[in-house]
Amino acid sequence: MGICGTAMGNAALLVREQGHEVCGADTGVYPPMSDVLADAGIEVFDGYDVERLAALKPDRVVVGNAMSRGNVEVEWLLNQSAVSFISLPQLLHDTVLLGRRPVVIAGTHGKTTTSTITTFLLDAAGTEPGWLIGGVPRDLPSGAKLGSGDAFVIEGDEYDTAFFDKRSKFIHYRPQIAVLNNLEFDHADIFRDLPDVQRTFRHFLRIIPSQGCAIVNGDDTNITALLPAPWTQVVRVGTGEMNDLVIANFTDAAQGAAFDLIWQGVLWTRVSWSMHGLFNARNAAMAALAAAFSCGHASPVEFDLGPLARFRGVKRRQDVLHQCAKWTVLEDFAHHPTAITGALEGLRAAYPDRKLCVSFEPRSNTARTSLFQQAFTQALSGADRVYLGAVHRADSIAAHERLDTERMVADLSKDSSVAMTFADNNALFEQIRADSTAAEGWVFVFFTNGAFDGVPQRTAELLGAK
């Protein structure tokens, strides 16, 4: 139930690989996960239907964390004493992670990219890892694979497990090697404040065994506040000289970024790759250590990072939908102020002489609220033009608690930016259509963790036809 979520969809691939017959239901079915499931021969039903579910006679139902009381299938399921149901994290704990060496990638931002890099490096090293990634990697055959090696790489999401289990997902994952990439307040629908988020990360740290390892962002004060953790090895990564692994001499240009990785005063390697942004360099550094340690290397410098030169990233992370001499259209999953700031810094380096027209869809349970009103305004000020899409399900939030896009437009306009807000996403698309007559050289960027009503793809089709 909720099969088209990135974690749920990729977990469905794992269950099928184990030999089970798998199908699922969801609403708002859209690519890329719908395409991935279809290609794997997994039937997806649009919407929830009690009679259909009963007719399937399921042996077990995996309940996604987007499901809640009141859903017709949930209510039917709870009334069936003979039908087993389980959360996704518990399913993974019981059937996938036992007997493996879980490499759990946690943090507010960058989990999917860091998990993908870790897996990519382990796969290139011939270690036959397993993995479950909440996205669609470009350099791996799929977002999930059981693998035959010891290591199993998995995103450690701090969001809650299910409506019947309010612990964070990563508590179920038995981390042997854990990455704590960054920590900020997010998921305002389940956490009260930053200390509440830190509380669950402390719980996560406490289950890392004595023979395990915590790889932490040594530049992030919200993470260092959780330390020390004397029961396990702690390795710090960052730009500061006090870190064990230092990211140094970072440069970024149109063709990509380059940086040195220095392990305890010794140059490990210089990385040159097509990815942009210091945040991605940090993702790579974290992933490099996670891969090296999961292979059992006494010193990480023994591990070959040469494959990073050909790493191409994950779909929906600065995903180029259309590119020609006149225009470029990109889609990015960023939906938190820090992530948007980092993405725009990278895009400025990638397109130094182009204007950035940024469209943002306030869709997540945090982004829809006024919590990050000023932070989103500051983050988007890095664009030349800002179009704010409709606040998702705005009627479900009181006006005084809702993101005020009109105020954001007023504040952005003070800084000489061109900013507009739209009552619906189709109106935003029509504005882009009007712009396209005089917008040669622009880069159109769409930030959303949803579908944005297909506007990114429609924009790519519109400009591709001109």
Instruction: Write the DSSP string, 218-239.
Output: TT-HHHHTT---TTSEEEEEES
Mean pLDDT, rounded, of the chain: 91
Answer for the pair 361, 425: CB distance below 8 angstroms, yes or no: yes
pLDDT of residue 387: 95
Question: Is residue 191 predicted with pLDDT exceeding 70?
Answer: yes
Question: Is residue 35 predicted with pLDDT exceeding 90?
Answer: no
User: Which is more confident, 240 or 29?
Assistant: 240
Q: How far apart are CA 447 and CA 347, in angstroms?
A: 13
Question: Is residue 417 predicted with pLDDT exceeding 80?
Answer: no
Q: How far apart are CA 275 and CA 238, in angstroms?
A: 18
Q: How far apart are CA 290 and CA 177, in angstroms?
A: 7
Question: Is residue 316 predicted with pLDDT exceeding 80?
Answer: no
Question: Is residue 315 predicted with pLDDT exceeding 90?
Answer: no
| Phi, then psi, of 178 in degrees rounded to 5 | -125, 135
Domains assigned to the chain: 6-87 (3.40.50.720), 99-310 (3.40.1190.10), 319-464 (3.90.190.20)
Question: Is residue 325 predicted with pLDDT exceeding 70?
Answer: yes
- Considering only CA atoms, which of 118, 115, 149 is closest in space to residue 132? 115
Question: Is residue 415 predicted with pLDDT exceeding 80?
Answer: no
pLDDT of residue 47: 95
pLDDT of residue 338: 86
Can you tell me the mean pLDDT for 199-224? 96
Residue 268's Cβ-side half-sphere holds a number of Cα atoms within 13 Å equal to: 24
Question: Is residue 31 predicted with pLDDT exceeding 80?
Answer: no
pLDDT of residue 416: 67
Provide the whole-model pTM. Answer: 0.84
Residue with tokens 């990509």: 256
For residue 271, the cross-strand partners are 259
Residues 6+ apart with CB under 8 A from 186: 108, 197, 336, 366
| 424-442 pLDDT, tens digit each | 999 999 999 998 877 778 8
Answer for the pair 135, 6: CB distance below 8 angstroms, yes or no: yes
- Considering only CA atoms, which of 280, 225, 315 is closest in space to residue 109? 280
| 118-137 pLDDT, tens digit each | 999 999 999 999 999 987 78
Q: What is the DSSP string of 409-433?
A: HHHHHHTT-EEEE-SSHHHHHHHHH
| 99-121 pLDDT, tens digit each | 999 999 999 888 999 999 999 99
Question: Is residue 361 predicted with pLDDT exceeding 70?
Answer: yes
Question: Is residue 36 predicted with pLDDT exceeding 90?
Answer: no
pLDDT of residue 424: 92
